[in-house]
Structure 1
Amino acid sequence: MRISFLLHNAYGIGGTIRSTFNLAAALAEQHDVEIVSVLRHRDAPTMGAPAGVVLRPLVDLRPGSPDYDGEDPRHALPARVFPRADGRHRQYSRLTDERIGRYLTTLDAEVVVGTRPGLNVHIARQAHRAAVRVGQEHLTLSNHGFRLRHEIRHRYPFLDALTTVTEADASAYCRFGPRSMRVEAIPNSVPAAYGAPADGTGKVVVAAGRLTPAKRYDLLVRAFAQVVAAHPDWQLRIFGSGDTTGNERAALSALIDGLGLSGSAHLMGNAHPLEPEWAKGSLAVSTSDRESFGMTLVEAMRCGLPVVSTDCPVGPREIIEDGVDGRLVRPGDADAVAAALLGLVADEELRRRMGAAALRNSARFDPAHIAERHLDLYRQLLRRGPGRRGPGPVREAAHRARVRAIDTAHALRSTARGTLKKSGAAGPGDGRRVPA
């Protein structure tokens, strides 16, 4: 089988990149697999190229490269096909529209897979008629704003299938979308750790993920202050980086200093690979307000760590069995996080038992097993043959008119919010979700 993945930027760092690489490498053991990266900003992938997979970029943004596309005039014009409602729209252009369109209309793969909403829209609109079209959702439906949900409702029925990473999100899409839209829940895959698992003796609590407000590392630091008060020989290590402003890191550093934890709680920055760092710990922790899946939870479990996690929508409860391989606690409750950590810090035998269960139970996320589930879906779709292609001119015109109306309303609301902000007043809708 020939399978092609369309990825935003294979040369960066992120959960979607990691999960796509894991799946592609597993599929490449028996099939012809390529990853097409829309953008390229560095010579080699930060996370390492997956074995046996052809990696092909479409737009080269490396200054000094002989293939540099940054000065192409089309790169300065906003994209028309990639939907404006997708949060990555500013990175897309008429040039990406053209390159993606050329790739999709000429591809010879039997299955083409998109990995974010904007790319799924490209596939639904432009992929070769003979190819099976599959969209992947790595976030959640609830994470998307009204404008993007409108685009999804219109375009996704022209995919042959959509896969989500949790059952909860699959149910949300089934309730949201038309009956004709096929939705399958298939979790992300995580390979077995290449080193020895944690032995439960290291007096270290490990957390990992981007330094963003949604991860609630402030809550974790406050909870850990209670742990240190009772067990001063334990440490907290937080791995990950934030946005380019560094505001979240600065705020966390100030909180750590203010609580007198500078010798116990550490912001470690990025680490790749992360497995050796997991293995140095005895506990993993996640205090997120929301997760789309929870890759780091599975990575920690595959290294033999029990995980204390907030029971936030939608991922952790489908990964952790409370009281068996970890603990689930109420989101936003620092005392509950502290109590769960303290229970495990104080009981080495319990940590070892839960760590062994975590290692055993997380095997269900092995790439070979997850790849087989994707292959089962692809085979079913190939036997059925490609489904509907395009909405027809009348529905397409109606959709475009509706999108223009939504964009106009959005622009008016943005202008009104700006006016209120300048006047010092607070208006409805000022609160904004912060992407994880």
Structure 2
Amino acid sequence: MKIAFLLHNAYAIGGTIRTTLNLAAALCDRHEVEIASMMRHREQPRFAVDPRVTLVPLVDTRAGRGDAERPEFHEPAEDFPAQDKRHHQYSRLVDLRAREYLKGCDADVIFGTRPGVNVYLSLFGPPTALRIAQEHLRHDAHGKELRGVLARHYRTLDALVTMTEADAVAYRSRMRLPGVPVVPVPNIVPAPRGVVPSDGSAKVIAAAGRLARGKRFDLLIEAFGKVAGEQPDWQLRIYGGGAQQERLQQLVDARELGGRAVLMGPRSPIEPEFAKASLVVSASDAESFGMTLVEAMRCGVPVISTDCPLGPAEIISDGVDGRLVPVGDAPALAAAMLDLIGDGSGRRAMGSAALESARRFDPGPIVTRYESLFAELGTSRGRRYRRRTRARYAASLRRRLRRPARQVRRWRKRLTTRLRAWRAA
């Protein structure tokens, strides 16, 4: 079987890129795998790509490659939805190259990996292939207008895959997709190679992610201020880059945590850094999955996370392999850190449990789930098509039945207006 993935930019850094490459590598054991990258901006991808995976860049933005000189490159995208926040990064040339690639694609299964790219899959994906949209963002992270666009396009696909059961429930209840199963399948997070699990003795707390508002590193720094007052030997290391870096450094300086709370910059892979820590903490307001949580657990490190929607509660068993605390609650976050700092044996036991629990995200079981999905979608194609057709005709009938009622209301309003004008005269 040949399987293709559509990625925004396989040459950049990001959670969706990393998880797609993990899944592609795992599928290579039994299938032919290809990744179409909408764009290419550098010579080599930042993440390692399995040599068995064929990487196909569609638009090359590097100097001297010619694509940036084409007039379509400077025209706004028409097929990529304007409601997607990445619309400004797309051009008419990307539209045309995506159409060309998909029209000629001979894959048996094609995955889209972000909303706008899933629209390409809906518009141009060959009907002979199983067309599957992956949602690496939460349903509620999309604006109302974008959700309306996605609903129209997702109804034409074969399946929608979410990263968590909670998000699958949200899509099933809030986006009507007749004949399109919404299936939760978590990301693959393979065991890191050459990384010795933490022994829980280092007086280091680690955190990682984009330095963005929603990740709430400001809350983490606030909570660590209390930890630092009671446990002066412990250090906080924050890994990542982003727009909030200057603001976060100002918070560190204002709380006089210099040398205690350190912005370490981006690291890839992150696992060797997690293995140097005894705790990993996430203070996010929301997570569609929570890759860094599993990566930390893979290193035998217990994780403290806010119980935010949607992923952490499906990853962490509170009190067993980590801790869950209320969202936005700095005192609770600090208390959880201090509890585990003060309980060395409990912390190490929790780290061992985390290491074992993380096996749920091994490649084998997740590939099996995908292969079962492919088989089910193949056998249910006719039944799902009939269900979609019935739903489409029912919707059309409802619209027609509403027309006379709307017409009567218009006539009544018009007549009322004229009567009022006559009486006033």
Q: Tell me the TM-score normalised to structure 2 length.
A: 0.89
SS at match of 1:332: coil
2:113 is matched with which residue?
Answer: 115
Cα deviation 1:252-308 (Å, max 9, x = unaligned): 101101111101011011111111101000000000011111000010001111000
CA RMSD after TM alignment = 1.7
Cα deviation 1:55-114 (Å, max 9, x = unaligned): 1100001113xx331111001111111111111111111111110001111100000000
Equivalent-residue separation in structure 1 for 2:42 and 2:66 (angstroms): 11
- Aligned match of 1:260 in 256, 259, 266? 256
Equivalent-residue separation in structure 1 for 2:147 and 2:197 (angstroms): 42
Kindly state the Cα deviation for residue 363 of structure 1 after the two structures are TM-superposed.
Answer: 0.5
Equivalent-residue separation in structure 2 for 1:149 and 1:159 (angstroms): 15
Question: How does 1:347-358 map onto structure 2 within 5 Å?
Answer: 347-358=343-354
1:181 is matched with which residue?
Answer: 180
Does the alignment pair 1:197 with 2:193?
no
1:274 is matched with which residue?
Answer: 270
Kindly state the Cα deviation for residue 51 of structure 1 after the two structures are TM-superposed.
Answer: 3.9
Equivalent-residue separation in structure 2 for 1:360 and 1:113 (angstroms): 30
2:314 is matched with which residue?
Answer: 318
Does the alignment pair 1:132 with 2:130?
yes
Does the alignment pair 1:373 with 2:402?
no
Cα deviation 1:29-64 (Å, max 9, x = unaligned): 111001110000000111121342111100001113
1:19 is matched with which residue?
Answer: 19
Equivalent-residue separation in structure 2 for 1:383 and 1:28 (angstroms): 23
Equivalent-residue separation in structure 2 for 1:150 and 1:302 (angstroms): 38
1:334 is matched with which residue?
Answer: 330
Equivalent-residue separation in structure 1 for 2:38 and 2:371 (angstroms): 24
The one-letter amino acid of 1:84's match is: A
Equivalent-residue separation in structure 2 for 1:55 and 1:385 (angstroms): 29
Cα deviation 1:291-337 (Å, max 9, x = unaligned): 11100001000111100000011110010000000000011111000
Equivalent-residue separation in structure 2 for 1:51 and 1:16 (angstroms): 19
Equivalent-residue separation in structure 1 for 2:266 and 2:367 (angstroms): 28
SS at match of 1:135: strand
Question: How does 1:45-56 map onto structure 2 within 5 Å?
Answer: 45-56=45-56
1:428 is matched with which residue?
Answer: none
1:159 is matched with which residue?
Answer: 157
Over 3 Å counting, the alpha-carbon distance change for 1:367 and 1:51 in structure 2 is farther
Kindly state the Cα deviation for residue 384 of structure 1 after the two structures are TM-superposed.
Answer: 3.2
Kindly state the Cα deviation for residue 224 of structure 1 after the two structures are TM-superposed.
Answer: 0.6
Kindly state the Cα deviation for residue 157 of structure 1 after the two structures are TM-superposed.
Answer: 0.9
- Aligned match of 1:143 in 118, 141, 160? 141
Cα deviation 1:10-41 (Å, max 9, x = unaligned): 00111100110000000001110011100000
Equivalent-residue separation in structure 2 for 1:168 and 1:176 (angstroms): 12
The one-letter amino acid of 1:96's match is: V
The one-letter amino acid of 1:242's match is: G
SS at match of 2:39: strand
The one-letter amino acid of 2:16's match is: T
1:223–1:338 Cα contact (<8 Å) kept: yes
2:241 is matched with which residue?
Answer: 241
Aligned length: 389
Q: For structure 2, list consecutive stretches of 5 or more residues without a partner in the other structure.
A: 400-425
SS at match of 2:131: strand
The one-letter amino acid of 2:247's match is: A
2:29 is matched with which residue?
Answer: 29
Cα deviation 1:342-361 (Å, max 9, x = unaligned): 00011110110000000001
Question: How does 1:293-308 map onto structure 2 within 5 Å?
Answer: 293-308=289-304
Paired-residue identity, %: 53
SS at match of 1:70: helix
The one-letter amino acid of 1:127's match is: G
Question: How does 1:13-92 map onto structure 2 within 5 Å?
Answer: 13-64=13-64, 67-92=65-90
Equivalent-residue separation in structure 1 for 2:144 and 2:105 (angstroms): 32
Over 3 Å counting, the alpha-carbon distance change for 1:51 and 1:354 in structure 2 is farther
Equivalent-residue separation in structure 2 for 1:298 and 1:304 (angstroms): 10
Equivalent-residue separation in structure 1 for 2:3 and 2:179 (angstroms): 24
1:225–1:261 Cα contact (<8 Å) kept: yes
2:221 is matched with which residue?
Answer: 221
1:132–1:385 Cα contact (<8 Å) kept: no
Kindly state the Cα deviation for residue 385 of structure 1 after the two structures are TM-superposed.
Answer: 3.8
Question: How does 1:375-394 map onto structure 2 within 5 Å?
Answer: 375-385=371-381, 388=385
Equivalent-residue separation in structure 1 for 2:365 and 2:197 (angstroms): 21
Does the alignment pair 1:106 with 2:104?
yes
1:285 is matched with which residue?
Answer: 281
SS at match of 1:219: helix
Cα deviation 1:151-204 (Å, max 9, x = unaligned): 011110111000000101100110122233210000111000221111101110
1:115–1:135 Cα contact (<8 Å) kept: yes
Equivalent-residue separation in structure 1 for 2:6 and 2:171 (angstroms): 22
Equivalent-residue separation in structure 2 for 1:299 and 1:97 (angstroms): 35
Stretches (4+) displaced over 2 A = 177-181, 382-392
1:27–1:33 Cα contact (<8 Å) kept: yes
Q: For structure 1, list consecutive stretches of 5 or more residues without a partner in the other structure.
A: 399-436
